[in-house]
Structure 1
């Protein structure tokens, strides 16, 4: 598959079958994959058990370790046991070779099959009379390690979805639904519908995605999002099915159930990712294809050269077989699967859902990252920054309490910020009467017999009241004014607060030489203030969602490699246009169809971690591929006898030892990847 246009192909295929998990086809694919994993696992363990006596009986191992264990017919026993491993353990590779040769694309399966077929055929011939050495232990160890590599690779692509599927199985079987008369009834979660109201008591699992109608609590979402700390939840906040309620009872209005739930969407996304391989994985397979031709050519050349030098046929044949066995490095079979396995599990634990592995690895090429402002660099909610009473007889907190009482009846984000601040200060606002909106100006209501108005700067101007000194201190603040019976009694300043993690994330990316830009629909003054505070390289203000795509096109035309972060809904065209599209969101908004990578949390540190980890993953893959290939570059000529004139020739025993050492180094190098991502 040509991954250069992978993003658009993936989007098209996803549109045609985005509910693959829902039908029998998706179910069959998943079951087929699970069957293959079990098959490789079974073949590996059976082959490994049979390998042990073969290793013990191997003359080469006996010489290396320094013991002797021989008996009449021991070679025939080795032949019988090796035949079992060859035909049972080696069957997937022999079958894979046939498939690859039919497609005229020899790759890893063909290379493995060549090595094991040559080793088995030659060793069997030696057992039955040909003069030479047997290679049974090399044969079975090669099959064992290749089975292990394929088992690990297949497990890795199933790992993230398996964890989520296991979590889905742990969902409560019943939910406590509130009937219209207020009574509660226990019903199977399969009977829940969107719009139902359910009660979740302290310590219980939340049975469905929904919105809190009553109550507040801390909810543990760590198994779903990777966020270790329980998340504070209150009225109007969204909750995810499968998360664990804390100490408070919650009444929740169900929004998504079953296949439309967060868990099902995430499982579907990971399943889509399982069907594709990255360019680096394809590179490993191409390397195996080239090694097949090299092994074949090197083996034939070795045979011809030694015969032409006057050596007997048996010796020349032994050299040829040694070359062809050594040409199949164990390490190459594990080079990419080990890294994929580790990066998949580590990513899933940190709330990174990778749909396009090529884009994930391409994050190393990024020159520009465009951040959305609201909800990513900022908290996405207005917070009170200052509040001050004007005139005698009232303190600042009393002003805030009056404002909170009136704003409590409003659904505006500014109102939510004022009410939230009053709760933080444990204030107890009164109950207003005759609440009403004043179009284009603000709100008003009666409170304790007084007419309380909360007005915008424009509303204050229409009333003919001058703005008090010190009301405006920062360009990124929004200020509202509180009046009692038409008299100004104070003001409250609010701002969409910058997240604490934003500065660290931006500094981290800048150290990598990446330019940081911001695109926001907010006005020029707010965008400028955020940009200056965080030290961005530039910003685009008053941008409509459809304009972001053009911004990315313009940057790409200048040679920039661009990552775009967005909420995955309004930003879909921009995410599709970007070289790396990163959807950020919380709760049920993670299933963005056009993004390459989805971050469950909107934390900008996760974006920085993702970009660095993608680069580190690619680097580890390439290091392993080059190490595995490097082993061949050195070992094959030595096995062929290039330096035989100098008395240096690679024996099968030393070749096997080097092969094992190469495998160990690749495995240890892959493990180092775990240190590349910060919590």
Structure 2
């Protein structure tokens, strides 16, 4: 059953969080008020249930006493009416709204059951022959209120994970004005404002450090447990916790565009989105509602027509309807969804597509984009070789740096770092042109310079001179000057310490790992062998990555692709599950279903294992929520009546409440394995 229809705007609103971090508080307070309301109704009904039970003829009969007096049935009627209207109000209001929406659900069933019980008992007071069951009505409402109160507290626990994310954003910031520091509300900050962050405080906005340095704890945002050193020019994320230094930050954008706000919105959307499992649970809950009504009325007809009293037949009907409430079923999946989505976000795993996340259990092959995921992505120049005696090594790297100065590519960064170390001045480049997947070209100092991959040489049938020697782990770019091969620059990239562990765990889970890279075969083979991967695909251009993924799918593989989300977008979209890594604050634009804030390959393994654990919890909850009905429903209908086994409406209510609480507790035990 859809969450927000299940309690018709009353109970599960805490799942629908506001996107503004400061609005989130009122949502939370509203939910706390709802819990307080159920608690108050429970205690009032509890106080009234004692006298109702003592005045009930059936209870007196059990106790062997006769406390009837003139008008006692009217007092019983008055007390029960208060219980019915005041205690039953949430259910009656739910019955009306579900009936209006033509979507009968849990509230409809409970409302229907208590209305039948009350109406029949009132008729007895005013002359109909038979036994009233006011005491059953009171205990039924009492247990229902208690169940809702407990369950809402469990649900609140699941949504608290998101509240914690919302609360990461501090309410105030120290804005630096000429000659003074002034405290302002965080949501009034705009781009280019300067704020001061003192030791131990939370960073109030995304931005760049202007002066000062410190270590920041970003674990609640990225899952990275170690404090990260930040110096002038480094990016900081709102919500991270400052260590013992103080620094000034130039704000990058308003609070609503911050990384944290995007994460909260993403988590919120993912919590509201439906996956296949949720749709399955919704369908099951709808059917259970129909079964409850049909079985309830059928039970009444059977007992009444076989000669039982109308009171007995009614009691069976009420018990069947109460036991059949698809409450646990309605909560089975949404509770796990709320918990898993928010927990993931705290570990730097951002779920944008619920179905992709739940399908993680089906993955048979993970395709890794090498640079920056399995390796650190920090290329360092290991050698510069000139094929032409007239061109010095420094000239070669100077000309190459002119072409690379506007590129974000790791190779470009490596070349520029080397130029910086050698204190070489970078010349200007004109007529810049990118050669898709193969390199760049431009005019520098009047010469036409190209910096290209080995693939470009192959395609243009350019022979490599004999003195070319690169080892297996090096990535090489060739420099051409006026169409002549002038030399090459070799760069090496270090493999991440965590990569081998990640690949090993995948193997234990019977998941194949494939390396996909634009790099040369030697480098790919070396990395693949070092890490113990199943296979590698090398020298692929960005547009060919898509075809390689398709080939794997044609062979029956369920493929997860990890990439940096920008040039890998088509391949990520083609994969059964696209995982964008290290894309930081560009989380809104990606084609991937899942975004990993860190580029750590261990996170990919955590994600798959957590996807499996989440799915297990959902299935456990669904089995429990439907299974208990299979056992309890026939007992409620009176199948074993001849053997003396009969469930009262109150026992039915207890069973229903227990099943709901079991589901809530099971969902709350979900954890991300580190």
- TM-score where L is the length of structure 2: 0.73
2:35 is the alignment partner of 1:41? yes
| 1:286 equivalent in alignment to 2:273 | no
Deviation at 1:670, TM superposition (A): 2.6
Bigger drift between 91-100 and 508-517 goes to 91-100
Question: Which segments of 5 or more consecutive residues in structure 1 lack a partner in the other structure?
Answer: 3-19, 388-402, 422-428, 441-454, 481-490
**Which residue is 2:473 aligned to?**
475
SS in 1 for 2:499: helix
DSSP-derived class of the 1:539 partner:
strand
Q: Give 1:141's aligned residue.
A: 143
- Kindly state the Cα deviation for residue 637 of structure 1 after the two structures are TM-superposed: 1.0
Aligned match of 1:369: 366
Whether the 8 Å CA contact 1:51–1:141 is kept in 2: the answer is: no
Q: Give the distance between the partners of 1:415 and 1:250, measured in 2 at CA.
A: 30
Q: Which residue number in structure 2 is paired with residue 627 of structure 1?
A: 624
Match of 1:84 in 2: 85
Kindly provide the CA deviation profile for residues 210-262 of structure 1, in whole angstroms up to 9, marking residues without a partner as x.
34566653222123223222112345542223323434565655433433321
Deviation by residue 1:3-27 (Cα, 9 ceiling, x = unmatched): xxxxxxxxxxxxxxxxx959xxx99
Select between 286-295 and 158-167 the one with higher mean Cα deviation.
Answer: 158-167
Query: What does residue 52 of structure 1 align with?
Result: 46
Distance in 1 between residues matched to 2:248 and 2:89, nearest whole Å: 57
Query: Which residue is 2:323 aligned to?
Result: 326
Determine helix, strand or coil for the equivalent of 2:379.
strand
Residue in structure 1 matched with residue 95 of structure 2 by the alignment: 94
Does structure 1 retain, via aligned residues, the 8 Å contact 2:109–2:322?
no
What are the residue-to-residue correspondences of 1:406-445 with 2, within 5 Å? 435=425
- Separation in 1 of the partners of 2:234 and 2:606? 27
Cα distance in 1 for residues equivalent to 2:215 and 2:417: 16
Residue 302 (1) aligns with residue 299 (2): yes
Quick one: which of 504, 508, 513 aligns to 2:505? 508
Partner residue in 2 for 1:678: 673
Q: Using a 3 Å threshold, how does the CA distance of structure 1 residues 536 and 277 change in structure 2: closer, same or farther?
A: same
Where in structure 2 are the equivalents of 1:153-172 lying within 5 Å? Answer: 153=155, 156=158, 159=160, 161-168=162-169, 170=170, 172=172
> Cα offset for 1:302?
1.6
- Aligned partner of 1:395 in structure 2 is none
**Over aligned residue pairs, what C-alpha RMSD do you find?**
5.0
**Cα distance per residue 1:630-652 (max 9 Å; x no partner):** 11111111121222334433344
Q: How does 1:173-212 map to 2 (within 5 A)?
A: 173-176=173-176, 194=191, 203=200, 205-212=202-209
Aligned equivalent of 1:75: 76
Deviation at 1:275? 3.8
Asked if structure 2 preserves the Cα contact closer than 8 Å seen for 1:367 and 1:561, the reply is yes
Show the counterpart of 1:390.
none
| Equivalent in the alignment of 2:350 | 353
CA change 1:383–1:620 in 2 (3 A) is same
**Match 2:640 to one of 633, 643, 652:** 643
Aligned length: 597
Indicate which of 337, 340, 352 corresponds to 2:337.
340
Q: Following the alignment from structure 2 to structure 1, what is the Cα–Cα distance between the partners of residues 574 and 641?
A: 58
Q: Residue 668 of structure 1: CA displacement?
A: 3.7
**What does residue 5 of structure 1 align with?**
none
Structure 1 residue aligned with 2:266: 269
Query: Do 2:187 and 2:255's aligned partners in 1 also have CA atoms closer than 8 Å?
Result: yes
On the 8 A contact 2:209/2:248 being kept in 1, the answer is: yes
8 Å contact from structure 1 (residues 152, 337) kept in 2: no
CA contact (8 A) 1:119 1:139 kept: no
TM normalised by structure 1 equals 0.73
Within-5 A mapping of 1:387-536? 435=425, 473-476=471-474, 495-536=492-533
CA change 1:298–1:197 in 2 (3 A) is closer
Name the counterpart of 1:449: none
Match of 1:131 in 2: 131
CA contact (8 A) 1:86 1:116 kept: no
Query: Structure 2: where are the runs of 5+ without partners?
Result: 3-17, 385-396, 430-438, 440-450, 455-462, 479-487
Counterpart contact for 2:174–2:196, Cα < 8 Å: no
SS at 1:379's partner residue?
A: coil
Provide the C-alpha distance between the structure 2 equivalents of 1:243 and 1:496, rounded to a whole number of angstroms.
29
2:561 is aligned to 564
